[in-house]
Chains A and B, each alone.
Chain A
């Protein structure tokens, strides 16, 4: 961290030397003790070096390209009076600050940091606590939000905000952030070409990550744990989802990943572990599910409504209570060469592929769909018996729904 800060300083100084910009030192005992005042005095491309201490300021408007650099993590305390930092100019960098006590309002979405219609912003290494909204990007472009820690204490959805919100944004990188205790961890609405990488979104009230009407985005290597629900992707196109971990999204109607009205996507190399539902799919077509792990979920995959031409290949289904739930008798999706830990077939020709097909939909899962209370009979002998009879001669479940070539060993190469 020190090395990082040092290099940042060196770069800052180089920048300052080449552009002949100057550095303003702000500290509680200095001549310059107010950030707001420092911004007024500074010229474009100057650097404000903010030293350790607490600054009781809010509504700080940065209206020229500046770099605000915290030294030994200074604290900006908004005293719950409103928004704290608003970026109204291009090329603004914020780094190494701690921001607290954002005002809560039912009419205005106060944020710790807001960017309004600007480009080339960089928000790095900021600690945020006691928030309404965390980072709010409004029609912003080509910026980055990296390495921030956003900790809220949301209890109800109606009076809490999102950790990182992107609204009508383009080409923004969101990486290595930690968001917890907010409404949605990361929320995208009408935002395109956003890259979301290696974030951790945990213990948020609603979703860990939420897409609405956003296209050509990607999220990779993120971890979503113990949220109301993991990730919801709704009404969006061409979203790349790879190498994420969805864990412990427990509870009524909770899920690891929800796909609603999503077409043409690839979901690969993800891990779904101990969720009530691993992936819940509604009205989504032509999606490829490759090399994902589904382990210890209530339902690994729940298919609702019309879903066509989806392919599930080389996934591992490990000890889920139900591998698959289907609410219709029609099937147009393909299951090929997955590993199913519940598979009881054999491989006489030793080619690594089971000789009898696997039927992932159990009659019991069909019954539970109809009458949820029957879940209390999970794993009872009676249920195993009727599941077995359904397996032998399918009556209620789609009879072409099967993996013709189930793997005998789990897929290890998940690259």
Chain B
């Protein structure tokens, strides 16, 4: 469960979040959408504690997160840009993260799932962007966390890997996990998301199921629905 109350964050003069409140409970996949600069990444990073909010309160499973770190044991995060320390090999990176998290990990399962065996002894700096993203995914799903936060998970993936990713997400969904996913790929949203959270100008503009979104905008196609939503009044 993630609760966000009245979250404010400015970077310099640029107010990115302006009183955002959000509550997601139980399992399910929540797609966090919004135009560029609407505060998606800032919201995610605030939940992760990487960005320190100016104001507001965040709770993960009932625990306030401000200046805490222990709650991150319940979170697995997939960063948008998969940059890793270049002179480590894949297996060293995985081992290191396991060592640092001090939690049980299904390392072999994920290595097999994303076909990383041939790369285990390669240096991360020598990997292609797609392979790195696979490592990134393996790293995230290695841990059996109640909450997964994925920032643009489909970046640079080949179709086969994309299918595996979707399968993995569905599997975890069936186990009652909570997902927060940002993405620009509407097809991905359509296939997977239970609910859509639409951010605009630092606030939640819309939160509801895809069905509700379609009804409200009168658009059948999600892509058009999303495009149309920002032109409407919030409570129309």
Q: Do A and B interact directly, with beta carbons closer than 8 Å?
A: no
Interface positions of B (Cβ within 8 A of A): none
